[in-house]
Amino acid sequence: MKTAFSLPEPLFRAAEAKRKRSGLSRSALYARALEAYLRADQVRELEARYEAGYREAPDDSGEIEALLKATAGTLGEKEW
């Protein structure tokens, strides 16, 4: 699909320089940039949901202590 958009000249020049060095077409460069932005935005959204969930139900210090005790013994039994 074709689209048109405007960029500030310094950003356009930087993108063109990168595009020429990489050998990508202009379309491929902008498609990759948009994909990276959308992935990063998705990660930010997931992190925000995780943090909100943790604030609603943080780990209990007793649970953490029990987990540490349970796992500490098993690591010592293994030969590394």
pLDDT at 54: 84
Convert the pLDDT of each residue in 27-44 to its tens digit.
999 999 999 999 999 999
pLDDT at 27: 96
CA distance 26 to 17: 11
pLDDT at 57: 85
Q: Count of CB atoms within 10 A of residue 16's CB?
A: 13
Work out the average pLDDT over 6-21.
97
Work out the average pLDDT over 41-57.
93
Look at the pTM and tell me if it is higher than 0.75. Answer: no
Q: How many CA atoms lie within 13 A of 51 on its CB side?
A: 6
Q: Inform me whether the pLDDT recorded for 78 exceeds 80.
A: no
Task: Fill in the DSSP letter of residue 58.
Answer: P
CA distance 76 to 27: 55
Work out the average pLDDT over 48-76.
82
Task: Fill in the DSSP letter of residue 23.
Answer: T
